[in-house]
Structure 1
Amino acid sequence: MTQPAFLNLVLLSGETEEKLQAAREAGFDQVEIWREDVEACHGGPARLAQLGTGFTNLQVLRDFTGAPGDLRLQKREELRQFIQMAQALGCDTIQAPATTREDCITDQIDDDLRWLASEAARFNMRIMYEPMAWCSVDNTLPKAWERLQRLDQPNIGLVVDLFHISALGGDASQLEGIPADRIYEVQLCDMAVQPSPQDKQAIMDLAKHQRLLPGAGIIDVASFVDKLKSAGYRGPVGIEVFNDELKRLPPREVAPLAWAALRRFWP
């Protein structure tokens, strides 16, 4: 591939170093790594940084925006911890999805994102803002892009996750009008059934346990790829699949399957 190809380590079982090795052997030059993966590694981030695998981003700073009361300060401290860990990894990007809290303070979200961008910029860090299907605000790509466009923070960009778009009945047309350089990464996956957009629990269960590799389900993956390529997108492209059955298999079996699925749509 001519651009960064990543695998989200959530697909694989095993020790963190074993997952990294399986991803690298399969062909991926980067991984999305979770804070839990870093903390589980005996040598910590310094050890992982020595292994030669690139890190697309460090995941995941949850429910940062609109956090009520004292939780707001706690979330800001959590960001600082993420920045410190990312720096130790040699990673310059942290993923911070839109909030899922029903008690979020919506009038506070813009200020929180401005602060997030400013604090991250102090350390030359970027923030990936992801609209998830069950978010209480900004649960679609157009809504998230409207906010980022209005705030105009140069180091906050979007995550395009095919699951979250498709689970609510959206399609590749949601990419229209979004400049390619404001998309920081693209996560490919698939699903076997179309959930009801109103059934948040069913969407969450599907997302966290039963996603499929791209090409194995009902999402029109090719249309998303065509739209992204025609827009000139050149950023990281990879696989984010939460799948309980695949995770029970050895990582060296699963990682090549993910690589083959990625190459099928983005050679």
Structure 2
Amino acid sequence: MRLGISTACFYPQPVEEILPILAGLGVHAVEVFFNTESEFSPRFYEQLGAQARQLGLDIVSVHPYTSLMEGLLLFSDYQRRTEDGLMQYQRYLECAAALGARFFTFHGERDMGHADDPARWARKCEVYRRLCGLAASCGVTLAQENVAWCRSRDPAFLSALYRDVPALRYTLDIKQAHRAGRHPREFIDAVGERLVNIHINDFSAEQSCLLPGAGTMDYADFFSRLRAAGYSGHALIEVYRSNFTGPDDLARAVSVLSRFLTV
């Protein structure tokens, strides 16, 4: 397993200013969190890709700012919006491919507290299959993330989704599992070998998101479970800017996790 960091840690600092900071921390794997539409234009991301290569950074995954709206864009009953949303995400996936990213992080629908009838479930799975197909045509893998305010908060939902959409893969986020009142192992058990990416953080009884090493997370047990499940991918530190004062704090988190991972 290999350690990295998400540019989301430094939001709202512009993403092109963040890459040199991450390179200075000694990590090589990064996730790029795009924060606005213009950043998905070739003029911007081609320069970003050149910058990453010059810094020796490997862009593992891309995360779109539209993750807040994916239910509305792609899974509503308004078919024209779904078609437009698929075209929009085609551009995003082309951007990910141009940056050399293997994975595209996806949130999906907001949890509105209701189950799907068979017809709606079939429509939803068809959209997921089309997204997975678009991703595959770009050489990228769609990776559904567990998110506390989304349907993906429930391991049973993910199990059903993966049963019916075989190409779909999974990003595990520790803080989001904690916020949903779930243990990360429940998601590891639900998705098994489909796990391809991890957002790693820490938590305590008082705070749901902390830098690794600042909370109560049992990393020895966590990484032992991952290895038992056959996971050998990346663990990308993803916290909020309010969780640390400066790069030195992130450097200490890298040191904490380096006992379990390769930097």
Q: Where do residues 18-167 of structure 1 align in structure 2 (5 Å cutoff)?
A: 18-36=17-35, 39=39, 44-51=44-51, 52=53, 53-60=57-64, 61-62=66-67, 63-64=70-71, 65-69=74-78, 70-100=80-110, 102=112, 106-107=120-121, 108-135=123-150, 137-153=151-167, 156-167=168-179
Cα distance in structure 2, aligned partners of 1:4 and 1:77: 33
Offset of residue 163 of structure 1: 1.3
Asked whether the 8 Å contact 1:188–1:214 carries over to 2, the reply is yes
Cα 1:85/1:173, change in 2 over 3 Å: closer
Residue 83 of structure 1 aligns to a residue whose secondary structure is helix
Asked whether the 8 Å contact 2:93–2:134 carries over to 1, the reply is no
The C-alpha deviation readout for 1:192-231, integer Å capped at 9, x for no partner, is 326xxxxxxxxxxx66xxx201221233333222100122
Larger proportion of helix = 2
Letter paired with 1:33 = V
Taking structure 2 as the reference length, the TM-score comes to: 0.80
Aligned residue in 1 for 2:214: 216
Residue 211 of structure 2 aligns to a residue whose secondary structure is coil
Asked whether the 8 Å contact 2:3–2:258 carries over to 1, the reply is no
Asked whether the 8 Å contact 1:189–1:240 carries over to 2, the reply is yes
Aligned residue in 2 for 1:198: none
Cα 1:7/1:66, change in 2 over 3 Å: same
Number of residue pairs the alignment of both structures matches? 244
Asked whether the 8 Å contact 2:10–2:18 carries over to 1, the reply is yes
Cα distance in structure 1, aligned partners of 2:84 and 2:227: 40
Offset of residue 258 of structure 1: 3.3
Aligned residue in 2 for 1:197: none
Letter paired with 2:202 = D
Offset of residue 43 of structure 1: 6.0
Cα distance in structure 2, aligned partners of 1:161 and 1:258: 16
Cα distance in structure 1, aligned partners of 2:163 and 2:42: 41
Aligned residue in 1 for 2:199: 187
Offset of residue 265 of structure 1: 4.2
Offset of residue 241 of structure 1: 0.8
Letter paired with 1:127 = L
Farther-moved stretch of structure 1 (38-47 vs 69-78): 38-47
Aligned residue in 2 for 1:237: 235
Cα distance in structure 1, aligned partners of 2:34 and 2:203: 26
Offset of residue 172 of structure 1: 4.1
Cα distance in structure 1, aligned partners of 2:75 and 2:29: 31
Offset of residue 34 of structure 1: 1.4
Gaps of 5+ in 2: none
Taking structure 1 as the reference length, the TM-score comes to: 0.79
Residue 176 of structure 1 aligns to a residue whose secondary structure is helix
Letter paired with 1:55 = I
Residue 36 of structure 1 aligns to a residue whose secondary structure is coil
Cα distance in structure 2, aligned partners of 1:147 and 1:57: 21
Cα distance in structure 1, aligned partners of 2:40 and 2:142: 24
* Percent identity between the two aligned chains: 18
